[in-house]
Amino acid sequence: MEVEHVAYGMRSSYGLPYVTPDLVISWERGDIPPTGPELTALAGVLWCSPGELMAAPRTLREHRIARGLAPEDVARAVGLDLLVYQRMEETGRWRGAERQTSTLASLLGLSLADLIVVMGRQEKLAELLRAAVTTRWQAQVRPLAKLLPLDKRLLERVLREMHTAYQGRMAASLSWAGSRAAAGAGDAGRDFLDHIVERFWTAVGIEEKT
């Protein structure tokens, strides 16, 4: 479809009179993101789901839109006042009770990793994991167990493996000091820390399957 056809469809069928071809082009280029109603209308014009137009959802709002649900649907399902739920979307941090969180995860198809993000705990998780691999991993088991509903023995295995992997990279950089290999090992260590949360969830998934 030409952008003119997309813009016309959004104006005529979805009541968005301000949508112009230039606005559609701005969305395509990534200059500005469409709002929730705009994304829903755009998906309708293109005969697809909102989720198909999005990258992997991360925020509470993005997960809701990807499922094609209105704020009212989610608020009613989890037992929250609509304004309270909308404030959570605006702040990007879910604050529901345990039962409400379980309902939300089921409704939006959220994994534990997704929940940690929408609850605003991603940075805390990364902080604890960095401490685990750079110092004594045993000291981080308890705070991580409070943060994550994971089996303690699984958590210990994952932390031990990650600690060993990271320390191996650092030992290599020290033993090859002054060489090109040392620089490469140092870069590998920084990359490990930069992507430590992703590595953690991958390791958890592997452990859960064994």
Here the CATH number for the domain that contains residue 1 is 1.10.260.40
8-12, 135-139, 206-210: least confident range: 206-210
Same domain for 64 and 11:
no
Place of tokens 């990359």: 191
- For the chain, give the percent of residues with pLDDT over 70: 91
- Structural domains in the chain (count): 3
Last residue of a domain, one of 120, 145, 173: 120
How distant, in Å, are the alpha carbons of 25, 52, 145, 178 from that of 67? 25, 10, 30, 53
Is the per-residue pLDDT at 181 higher than 70?
no
Are residues 116 and 60 in contact, defined by beta-carbon separation less than 8 angstroms?
A: no
1-10, 31-40, 69-78, 93-102: least confident range: 31-40
Are residues 171 and 181 in contact, defined by beta-carbon separation less than 8 angstroms?
A: no
- Whether this prediction's pTM lies above 0.75 is answered by no
- For the chain, give the percent of residues with pLDDT over 90: 56
Same domain for 203 and 127:
yes
Q: Nearest 5°: phi and psi at 54? A: -110, 155
Using CA atoms in the order 104, 97, 113, 54, what is the torsion angle rounded to 10 degrees?
A: 40
- How does residue 183 score in pLDDT terms, banded at 50, 70 and 90? low
CB neighbours of residue 26 within 10 Å: 14
